[in-house]
């Protein structure tokens, strides 16, 4: 199965072939790969180089962190995400340290770090499915996240299950073609809503 984007302009293959599966194989994620994913996140740019991202990682079969993260996910995500061998919470530190002034770019920068992680994962044959469907308050309490930070997202990481053995509902979703808005709908010039000319 290929989910390669049908792009209007040529882009790097790594970006075109990334996608978010619902069905994960039980194959564990190699520890070197896992370290590399967070190393890639580490080298993302951030406002004032604050690096406001934090990650809480649970690996299936290693203690109960995987289950504790799973328990914090919204019900629709809990159903499929448990099969992924690695679950991660994405946390944002809201203030600059040590000044305490608000960091308006903090959520943006978590996204950049995750973007780096996605590229590294794709190159290594791994898949990531991000989730906003997470009970942020429950996760914050469960993992002792301080008041200066908040839980924003979660990620399921592993190998996409290409065996065709998974639940039909999710297999169907995994087989759909990936679609996007065309450039003129979001790249503007002159005025918001007016397509850029370049
Ligand atoms: C920040 C973020 C939050 C998301 N939250 C969820 C979620 O809670 N549940 C879910 O099934 N998919 C979630 N997704 C996955 C998107 O639905 C998916 O990325 C989008 O449909 C595009 O598909 P693709 O990643 O395969 O190109 C999320 C993606 C992002 C980036």
CA of 130 from ligand 1 middle (Å) equals: 5
- The answer to whether residue 17 sits within a structural domain is yes
- The answer to whether residue 141 sits within a structural domain is yes
DSSP 22: S
pLDDT at 2: 67
- Global pTM? 0.97
The token pair that represents 30 in the structure block: 């190699």
pLDDT at 162: 86
- The answer to whether residue 1 sits within a structural domain is no
How far is it, in rounded angstroms, from Cα 128 to Cα 160? 9
pLDDT at 166: 87
- The answer to whether residue 6 sits within a structural domain is no
Q: What is the CATH number of the domain that holds 82?
A: 3.40.109.10
Report residues of the chain scoring pLDDT below 50: none
How far is it, in rounded angstroms, from Cα 52 to Cα 38? 14
The token pair that represents 99 in the structure block: 């000044």
Residue to substitute in 3, 132, 151 for testing ligand 1 pocket (most ligand atoms within 8 angstroms of CB): 132
Ligand 1 first shell, C-beta below 6 A: 19-20, 77, 130-133, 153, 178
- The answer to whether residue 198 sits within a structural domain is no
- Domain that includes residue 27, residue range: 13-163
> If you search the block for the tokens 């914050």, which residue do you land on?
140
Using CA atoms, how far residue 182 sits from 8, 9, 19, 79, 141, in Å, is 8, 11, 18, 32, 41
Nearest CA to ligand 1 atom 10: 131
Cβ atoms of 32 and 120 closer than 8 Å: no
- The answer to whether residue 41 sits within a structural domain is yes
CA of 40 from ligand 1 middle (Å) equals: 20
Q: Which conformational region is residue 126 in: left (phi greater than 0), alpha (psi within -120 to 50 degrees), or beta?
A: beta
Domain count along the chain: 1
- The answer to whether residue 70 sits within a structural domain is yes
CA of 197 from ligand 1 middle (Å) equals: 30
- The answer to whether residue 43 sits within a structural domain is yes
- 3 state SS of 180: coil
């Amino acid at each position: 199965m290929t989910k390669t984007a049908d792009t209007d302009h040529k882009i790097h293959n790594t970006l075109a072939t990334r996608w978010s599966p619902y069905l994960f194989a039980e194959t564990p994620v190699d520890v070197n790969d896992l370290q590399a994913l967070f190393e890639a996140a580490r080298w993302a740019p951030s406002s004032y180089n604050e690096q406001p991202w934090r990650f809480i990682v649970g690996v299936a079969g290693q203690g109960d962190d995987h289950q504790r993260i799973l328990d914090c996910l919204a019900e629709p995500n809990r159903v499929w995400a448990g099969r992924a061998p690695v679950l991660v919470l994405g946390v944002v530190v809201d203030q600059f340290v040590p000044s305490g002034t608000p960091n308006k770019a903090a959520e943006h920068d978590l996204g950049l770090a995750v973007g780096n992680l996605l590229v590294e994962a794709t190159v290594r044959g791994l898949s990531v499915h991000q989730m906003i469907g997470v009970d942020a308050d429950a996760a914050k309490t469960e993992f002792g996240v301080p008041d200066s930070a908040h839980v924003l997202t979660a990620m399921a990481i592993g190998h996409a299950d290409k065996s065709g053995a998974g639940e039909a509902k999710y297999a169907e979703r995994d087989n759909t073609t990936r679609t996007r808005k065309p450039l003129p709908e979001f790249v503007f010039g002159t005025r918001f809503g007016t397509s850029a000319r370049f």
